[in-house]
Amino acid sequence: MSSINWDNLKSEAKLAMAKAYAPYSKFPVGVAALVDDGRIISGCNVENASYGLTLCAECSLVSELIMSGGGRLIAAVCVDKNGDLLSPCGRCRQLLFEHGGEKLELLTPEGPKSMAEILPWGFGPKDLS
């Protein structure tokens, strides 16, 4: 895969964030990712009056990944309502790790970091064999 266009991914994450359903927290989140076949997919958070049922943006991203043909995530960008970079929560780090592995890169304020750095000693499918 050639170099990652981080600006394009961030723009796509901002577009996704604008579609978020966040009437309770007023904290819309968007995420976009590059798939190993070249597709760019995205997701946004979808809140629920029963807060525990809220879906993080990364959850809708992974749903989009599966619904659009699967594959492996190569790079991802997560943003808040101002377009500033966000760190995925622990649950979402696990989701990203499952579908991108240790080599998936996440854009951080310090630059791209691998999931091996973001989720050290991550638990994945290989741990179940």
Query: Does residue 1 lie within any of the structural domains?
Result: no
Q: What's the total number of domains in the chain?
A: 1
Domain containing residue 30: CATH number: 3.40.140.10
CA distances to 19, 98, 109, 126, 128 from 101, in Å: 27, 6, 21, 10, 14
Query: Does residue 16 lie within any of the structural domains?
Result: yes
Q: Is 65 exposed, middle or buried (0-12, 13-18, 19+ CB in 10 A)?
A: buried
Of the listed ranges 7-16, 59-68, 70-79, 117-126, the one predicted with least confidence: 117-126
105-121 burial string, b = 16+ CB within 10 Å, else e? bbbeeeeeeebeebbee
Structure tokens at 127: 């741990």
pLDDT at 1: 42
Predicted model pTM: 0.94
Query: Does residue 127 lie within any of the structural domains?
Result: no
Determine the Cα–Cα distance for residues 66 and 29; give it in Å rounded to an integer.
20
Query: Does residue 30 lie within any of the structural domains?
Result: yes
Average pLDDT over residues 82-93: 96
Catalytic residue among 58, 64, 102, 110: 58
> Please, what is the average pLDDT of the chain?
95
Host domain of residue 91: 6-121
Query: Does residue 107 lie within any of the structural domains?
Result: yes
Q: Known catalytic residue: 58? A: yes
